[in-house]
Amino acid sequence: MVDFTGIKIAVDFDGTIVDHEYPGIGKEKLFAFQTLKELEKLGARLILWTFRVGKELDEAVVYCRNNGIEFYAINKNYPEELFDETVSRKVDADIYIDDKNIGGFPGWSGVWQILAPYELHELEAEKRISSARRNIFKRFLP
């Protein structure tokens, strides 16, 4: 199992978690919340990193909370951070998930395939080992 403990992932809202309908909230992107929940289970710290502020930001946070996602921080590096002109607007994250990536947003199934390849390879390796063990027993048992 891939361990994302302590990995900070900055996630955009409009065009990434939901379809782009700013200032409204668009339709949820397929697999958005399932993927985010799985990343949380694997130990990732999710940061909502969005252009939204004020009422529109509050609406996005409530929307995510109602769908089971409570962010580690919102437009900040950590929850207690106070924004001032000496702090960079760019959050410090290990991974950024945004619809403005080069090549565009790959979709949440694409995000999962990018972030969890080791887990998939581990599962395939386990299947091969298990299969090899069964084949060994077949050689010795009628």
Confidence of residue 117 (pLDDT cuts 50, 70, 90): low
Rounded to 10 degrees, what is the CA torsion of 16, 20, 21, 27? Answer: -60
Cα 141 from chain centroid?
Answer: 47
**How much is the pTM?**
0.78
pLDDT in tens, 55-102: 999 999 999 999 999 999 999 998 998 877 777 788 999 999 999 988
Q: Which two tokens stand for residue 120?
A: 């998939």
- Give yes or no for residue 141 having a pLDDT over 60: no
Distances from the Cα of 123 to the Cαs of 7, 32, 70, 78, 88, in angstroms?
22, 23, 29, 34, 40
**Domain spanning 8-116, CATH class:** alpha beta
* pLDDT score at 22: 96
